[in-house]
Structure 1
C-alpha cells in the first residue's frame, strides 16, 4: 500500500512534522573549541514538532565518529545515530554539498571577467582613436584653426586611454593569479574525489526545539605568539598574548563562538609501562649456512616483494601547532568575546588574548668568553596561567629590538633578553696557558689556564651586572681540577648547571670591573685528555 507524503512523515520516514509541509532548517555552526591539531565543532539545528529524524549534512570527512555527541532540549527524545561518508557531489540532495570555496571561486571568476571586459573596452577605444586620427576624407583637409585643437584632444585622449589600459591589464593579471590560487585550494579540498560525512539522528519531538551535534575533527589548530614591551624607566614588562588560528576542514566557521584550549586530545591518553628486564646466557651462534647461488639470492627479494602486500600510503602529516601544556590544571582555555570567522583554507586569523603588566628586575648580562657584548635582561616571575613556549616580538622603550622565544619553564631561570646594551663595553683578554710536568717522577702533567675579562659601564647610572663563564669540570677521578677566581663568584653552579660560574655585582656609572679565573688541571702523563666545550 502506498502511503501519502503526510503519512510517511507521521511514520517517521521523513524529517517533516505531521500535518505540515515545512522542512527542518539546515544546521549551523554555533561554537568551536580549537586545540593544537584538532577542534571540537558544535552544530545547532532547529527541529520542528513531530519530527522523527534529522540529518546533519555536508560535514567534514575527517570527523571522528567516536567523538559524536547529540543533545537537545527536554522536548526531544534522542534515539540512535548513524554516520555515512559519501562523495561531495551526491551528498546533500540534488544540489550536492557545495564547498565553502565555491563562493570565493565564483567571486574570483567575476573579478577576472570584469577586468577582462575593461581591458577589451579600452582596447576598442584605442582602436577608435587610431581610426579617428587617420580617417580624414581625401581631399578635405581640416581647417588650419582646428588642427591644433584636434591634435591636442587626440593626444590627451590616447594618453589617458593608454594609462587606463595599463592599469586595467595589471588588475586583470592580479585577478587571474587570485583565481588560480582559489582554484588550486578548491580542487585540493573539494576536488572530484572529495567526500563528506552525513550524520542521521533518530528522535521524537514534541514541540519545536534545538538539536545539537558536537564532533571532533583533526587538522585545525592554533599557535601562540607573544609581544613583550619593556619600559626600562619603570622596570615594567607588558606581555601580550596573541594566537594564530587556521583550519582547512572543508567547512567555513562563520560568526562562531571560538574557544582556544591548550589541551591536546589527539595525544596519547596513557604513558607506556616498563618492560621486563631479563638477563640470560646467550646460546652459541649457529653454524653459518652456505651462501646461496646468485640466481637464488636475486630471486628471493623478488619473491618476497610479490608475497608482501603493498603498504598503505602514509597519511599526510598534520600541520604542527604543538604549543605544549604548562599547566597544573591540565589545560587553560581562552574564550574569544566576539564572534569570529575563520574560512576553510583561508589565511590565518590573528586574535588578541589579553595583556598583563609585570614588575621585573633588570640586569646586564655578559659572557665574554663567547662574545664581547652585553645584553639587557629582564627577570620576572611567570604570570598566572599557561604560557606555552612560542616566539615573542621584543620591544624596548617603544623600539623594536628583534624576536626571541618565551618559554615559561626557562623564564624564571634565565629571564627575557631585550637586545644588546651598547653602553656597556666588554673585553676578553687573551687567555694564558702553560703546561709542565709535575710530581717527583714527572709522571703527571699540570696544565694552567688563566682568563681575565673587563666590563666598563658608560651609562649615567649604576647597573646590575652579571658575568658568566665556564669552568673545567672533571668527569673522571684520574683528572683533578682546581679553580681560583678574583673576585669570588656569587654562584658556581648558575642556573643549576655545574661548571657555569656567575659574578653578580652592581657597577657604578663610569666604573670598570675586572674578573679573573685561574684553572689548574692535573692528570697522568700517559693519559689522553678529552675536552668538550
Structure 2
C-alpha cells in the first residue's frame, strides 16, 4: 500500500458544512495499486467522498476506514480522554438544542405576526390567553438557553482543565481519524495527480454587513464570517462561499390596533406584568453626527488634490440556478478552533431615499429610514448589519434576505435633532344620566421640530381607539391637519416636510360614547 502525501488545495463552505479538496502526486508502476490518504477528519460524510485528477490510470474504487489510535496504557490518562469525549458529546448536544431553540423563536414570532389580525376580531379573553401562552413559551425558551450556556461554560472549563492535566501526564494524544483507500490500475508506469474531495460537518459561514451613510450616499459592505471545528486546519487555499444547502436592534416603529370594549365584571386578580415582544429602542445611540454635519477643514497653503480612495477587494461570483458561489480574492487560513474569520464579498453603493419615522405613542424618537433598492446581481442573505454615520457607529439592525431589484426599508438609527413631543391637551369624562350615555373626550397635541441644517421629511404615526361592540362608538373630533392615510384599525399617518430649524404641530382628538350601564375598558386613565 502506498501512502500519498496530500495538502488541502480548495474548500467550498456551505451554510452548514464544507467540501474539502486534497491534492497529491504519485508515481506508480504498471499494475493495481492501493493508495492511502490519511489522516482525514472523523466528521466527513462517507458517501460524499470523490476521486478525480489527471493521469493515465483507472480508479477502481475508494473506501473509507477508521484508523483508531492506541489508547494510553496509563489508566489515569485513559480516564481523562474518556471524560473529554463525554464533554465533547455533551457540548454537541447543547449546540443542537441551541439550533432548535432558534427555530422555535422564529416560529413563535411568525405565529404572533400571522395571528394578530385574527385575534383582533376575537374576544379579549382569547387575546389574553394567547399572550399568556406566548409569554410562557418565550420565557421557557430563554430560560433553557441561559441554562445551556451556563452548562456549556462549565463543560469548557472542565475540558480545559482536563487538557492541562493530560499534557502534564502524557502530552496530547491524537484522536481517531479516517483514511481513504483509493484503488487504481495503471497500464504503464505513470505519474498521476490525484484529487480527493469530501464533505464534512462542523463548518459554516454566515453574512454580516456594514451600512454606512456618508456624503456620497448609502453604501453596503457584505462580509462572510467563516468558522469551522472539523478537526483539520484549512491553510490558505482556494476558498469559496456557496449559498447552496446540500441534502438567523433598531426597528422602524409600527403600531398595533387599539381596541376598546365593554368591561366584563370579574373577580379581582393580581396585576400581571406587562409583556413586550418588540425590540427596545433604548439600546441605540441617541446623539451622533449625521453625514455632512461636520465642517470640512481647509488645508493650509494652496489646495492639494484629494488622494484617491483605497481600493476594496471583492469576490467573484458564479450564479447557479438556485444558489451562488463566491470566491474571495484574498485567501485566508481557517483553523479548526471555531473562531470566526471574516472576508469581504462585495461592496455596493445604494441609491436611497431618506426620511424619518416616529410613533410618539410608543417612543418620542425619530428613526432615520432609508428606502433603498438592491440594484446588484447579488441576493443578500439574512445577517446582522452594523450602522455607521460616516465613521460613527450608531447601532445595529437585522437585515432580512434581499433579492436583486427588491426595495427595502432600512432603519439607520435615532436622530436626536428631530425632536418629538406628545402632550395630552384635554380629557373630559361625563357620567351617564337617565336615558343618556357616558361620554369621554380626549385630545392630543404632537409637535415635531427639525433642528438639522437641512429639510427633513417626517412620517408621524398615531392611533385612535377601535370599538369591538356596537354599544361603544368612537368618533374623531379633531384632526388638524387631516392625516395622509387612515386605516380601518385606527392607525393614522401624517407625512410632512419640515424646513431646517422649523417645527409643526398635529392636533387630534376623539370622543368615546358608551350606552348606559356600560363600562369602557382599554382607555388610559
TM-score, L = length of structure 1: 0.58
| 1:337 CA displacement | 2.0
Give the one of 480, 486, 498 matched to 2:480: 486
Give the one of 422, 437, 440 matched to 2:416: 422
Structure 1: runs of 5 or more not aligned: 1-13, 16-23, 91-176, 267-326
Give the one of 1, 17, 26 matched to 1:47: 26
Pick closer, same or farther for the CA change 1:468–1:76 going to 2, 3 Å: farther
Give the one of 496, 501, 506 matched to 2:492: 501
Contact 2:368 2:415 in 1 (8 A): yes
Matched position secondary structure for 1:61: coil
Give the one of 373, 379, 391 matched to 2:365: 373
Residue in structure 2 matched with residue 353 of structure 1 by the alignment: 345
| 1:482 CA displacement | 4.0
The 2-side partners of 1:526 and 1:447 are apart by 14
Matched position secondary structure for 1:242: strand
The 2-side partners of 1:73 and 1:476 are apart by 80
Contact 1:450 1:519 in 2 (8 A): yes
Counting only pairs closer than 5 Å after superposition, residues 384-399 of structure 1 correspond to structure 2 as: 384=376, 385-399=378-392
Query: Is 2:40 the counterpart of 1:59?
Result: yes
What do the CA deviations read for 1:181-203 (whole angstroms, capped 9, x no partner)? Answer: 9956998xx97583211121222
Residue in structure 1 matched with residue 209 of structure 2 by the alignment: 226
Contact 1:185 1:345 in 2 (8 A): no
Contact 1:382 1:408 in 2 (8 A): no
| 1:406 CA displacement | 2.5
What do the CA deviations read for 1:311-370 (whole angstroms, capped 9, x no partner)? Answer: xxxxxxxxxxxxxxxx99532322122332111116321211121111211112222222
Contact 1:393 1:403 in 2 (8 A): yes
Residue in structure 2 matched with residue 26 of structure 1 by the alignment: 5
Structure 2: runs of 5 or more not aligned: 72-156, 248-318
What do the CA deviations read for 1:356-400 (whole angstroms, capped 9, x no partner)? Answer: 111211112222222222232222113432222222222113322
The 2-side partners of 1:480 and 1:66 are apart by 69
The 2-side partners of 1:185 and 1:67 are apart by 37
The 2-side partners of 1:258 and 1:532 are apart by 60
Residue in structure 1 matched with residue 327 of structure 2 by the alignment: 335
Residue in structure 1 matched with residue 460 of structure 2 by the alignment: 467
Contact 2:204 2:226 in 1 (8 A): yes
Give the one of 199, 207, 210 matched to 1:216: 199
| 1:429 CA displacement | 0.7
| 1:61 CA displacement | 0.8
When structure 1 is superposed on structure 2, of 387-396 and 473-482 the one drifting more is: 473-482
TM-score, L = length of structure 2: 0.59
The 2-side partners of 1:34 and 1:532 are apart by 55
Paired residues in the alignment total: 356
Counting only pairs closer than 5 Å after superposition, residues 240-389 of structure 1 correspond to structure 2 as: 240-265=221-246, 330-345=322-337, 347-384=339-376, 385-389=378-382
Contact 2:4 2:37 in 1 (8 A): no
Q: Which has the larger radius of gyration?
A: 1
What do the CA deviations read for 1:79-127 (whole angstroms, capped 9, x no partner)? Answer: 222222232458xxxxxxxxxxxxxxxxxxxxxxxxxxxxxxxxxxxxx
Pick closer, same or farther for the CA change 1:214–1:366 going to 2, 3 Å: same
Contact 2:68 2:177 in 1 (8 A): yes
Counting only pairs closer than 5 Å after superposition, residues 35-114 of structure 1 correspond to structure 2 as: 35-50=14-29, 52-73=33-54, 75-89=56-70
